[in-house]
């Protein structure tokens, strides 16, 4: 094949209001005010520096080392060698920052994880679409869904990691076989891997509505479904956001309700979209939800919501970070 893929953070001489007045021994430190807010980088960079305002040193003020002010003030002994060591240690620890943030229990950790997720999401989305499409298009036997799947699986093994790979795919297959859903909604189509898996197992009259917010991705994904041999009567690609798609779903479904909903788009959208599906009365007591990537921080709110509604939703099965949720143990739907 001609196609080749390349994958892939004292001692600031706090400018006591450049105190133009002379301090007495008794109140100099407690009445100080700051001209400027202390900034962390500024503090770091001042380590070991000689006092800018020598008149503020104890010696200049006539203080004795055994005066009441015996605390370890920076003016009394700047110890530049010590500060240099601290700066060096600080600089040396910079590469360890991600590990430190990961280990510490703080809001910083959550923020760090969110940034990493976003970066990975952007990289994953941009790298994959064209290359995956080109690879599948060239490798598979056109018109054969199983061949398309085999090409996807090989591509996943050798080139990229998909959010739903072959292992989770088998878990999903089992749900689709068991439920034999007639109306399926997939949120987050990407290149169509999951769509192909679902479509090949649907009953003859079954249809898939698949949603993809990125127009180019939606186009490439649709091509893959056609290459796999599926007909437009079996599926419809909605190139819009999940929220927009759900608001228009009733017109696509008519009197029907959704038997299966697969969420693999943006975990932060899982809860708003689930609530929208409820508002639009698109779920039934028999509906099944598959939520992927529930370990991601964004999915936490939907998991919390589900636990507050034990009569409406039950976790039926879990495989890795994928959940099968069954709806409607009550009459609420």
Ligand X SMILES: C[S@@+](CC[C@H](N)C(=O)[O-])C[C@H]1O[C@@H](n2cnc3c(N)ncnc32)[C@H](O)[C@@H]1O
Residue from 133, 148, 151, 163 binding ligand X (CB under 6 A): 163
Residue 300 per-residue DSSP state:
H
Residue from 266, 296, 312, 324 binding ligand X (CB under 6 A): 266
- Does 296 bind ligand X (CB under 6 A)? Our answer is no
Contacts 24+ apart (CB under 8 A), 245-252: 245/187, 245/209, 245/211, 246/273, 246/276, 246/277, 246/280, 246/282, 247/276, 247/280, 249/185, 249/209, 249/280, 249/282, 250/280, 250/282, 252/209
Beta pairing class for 183-187 and 207-211: parallel
Nearer to ligand X, 16 or 168 (CB): 168
- Does 242 bind ligand X (CB under 6 A)? Our answer is yes
Q: One symbol per residue from 114 to 153: x for binding ligand X (CB under 6 A), - otherwise; what is it? A: -----------x----------------------------
Residue from 46, 117, 139, 214 binding ligand X (CB under 6 A): 214
**CA max distance for the chain:** 95
- Does 213 bind ligand X (CB under 6 A)? Our answer is yes
**Helix pair 242-253, 270-279: axis angle to 10 deg:** 30
- Does 162 bind ligand X (CB under 6 A)? Our answer is yes
Query: Residue 193 and residue 229: Cα distance in Å, rounded?
Result: 14
Residue from 56, 63, 264, 312 binding ligand X (CB under 6 A): 264
- Does 74 bind ligand X (CB under 6 A)? Our answer is no
- Does 265 bind ligand X (CB under 6 A)? Our answer is yes
Exposed/middle/buried for 310, CB within 10 Å: 0-12, 13-18, 19+?
exposed
- Does 188 bind ligand X (CB under 6 A)? Our answer is yes
Q: How far is CA 107 from CA 110, 113, 320, in A?
A: 5, 10, 26
Closest CB 328 distance from ligand X, rounded Å: 25
Residue from 241, 278, 284, 329 binding ligand X (CB under 6 A): 241
Return the closest-CA partner of residue 5 out of 120, 160, 147, 141. 160
- Does 193 bind ligand X (CB under 6 A)? Our answer is yes
Tell me the two tokens of residue 126: 């941009």
Phi/psi of residue 150, each to 5°?
-65, -40
Residue from 185, 191, 208, 288 binding ligand X (CB under 6 A): 191
Closest CB 218 distance from ligand X, rounded Å: 8
Nearer to ligand X, 75 or 264 (CB): 264
Q: Which residues bind ligand X (CB under 6 A)?
A: 125, 162-164, 187-188, 190-191, 193-194, 211-214, 217, 241-242, 264-266, 269
């Amino acid at each position: 094949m001609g196609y080749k893929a390349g994958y892939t953070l004292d001692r600031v001489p706090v400018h006591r209001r450049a105190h133009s007045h002379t301090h007495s021994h008794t109140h100099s430190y407690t009445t100080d005010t700051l001209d400027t807010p202390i900034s962390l980088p500024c503090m770091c960079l001042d380590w070991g520096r000689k006092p800018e305002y020598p008149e503020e040193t104890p010696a200049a003020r006539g203080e004795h080392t055994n005066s009441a002010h015996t605390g370890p003030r920076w003016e009394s002994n700047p110890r530049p060698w010590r500060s240099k060591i601290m700066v060096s240690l600080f600089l040396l620890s910079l590469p360890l920052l991600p590990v430190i943030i990961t280990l510490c229990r703080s809001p910083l950790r959550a923020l760090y994880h969110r940034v990493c997720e976003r970066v990975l999401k952007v990289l994953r989305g941009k790298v994959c679409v064209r290359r995956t499409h080109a690879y599948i298009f060239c490798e598979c036997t056109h018109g054969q869904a199983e061949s398309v799947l085999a090409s996807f699986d090989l591509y996943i093994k050798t080139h990229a990691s998909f959010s739903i790979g072959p292992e989770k795919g088998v878990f999903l297959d089992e749900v689709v076989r068991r439920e034999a859903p007639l109306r399926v909604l997939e949120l987050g189509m990407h290149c169509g891997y999951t769509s192909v898996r679902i479509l090949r197992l649907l009953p003859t009259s079954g249809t898939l509505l698949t949603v993809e917010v990125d127009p180019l991705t939606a186009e490439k994904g649709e091509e893959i479904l056609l290459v796999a041999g599926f007909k437009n009567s079996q599926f419809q690609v909605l190139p819009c956001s999940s929220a927009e798609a759900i608001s228009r779903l009733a017109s696509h479904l008519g009197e029907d309700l959704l038997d299966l909903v697969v969420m693999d788009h943006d975990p932060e959208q899982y809860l708003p979209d689930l609530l929208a599906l409820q508002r639009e009365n698109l779920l039934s007591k028999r509906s099944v939800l598959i939520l992927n990537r529930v370990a991601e921080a964004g999915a936490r709110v939907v998991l919390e919501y589900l636990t507050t509604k034990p009569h409406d939703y039950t976790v039926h099965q879990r495989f890795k970070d994928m959940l099968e949720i069954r709806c409607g143990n009550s009459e609420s739907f």
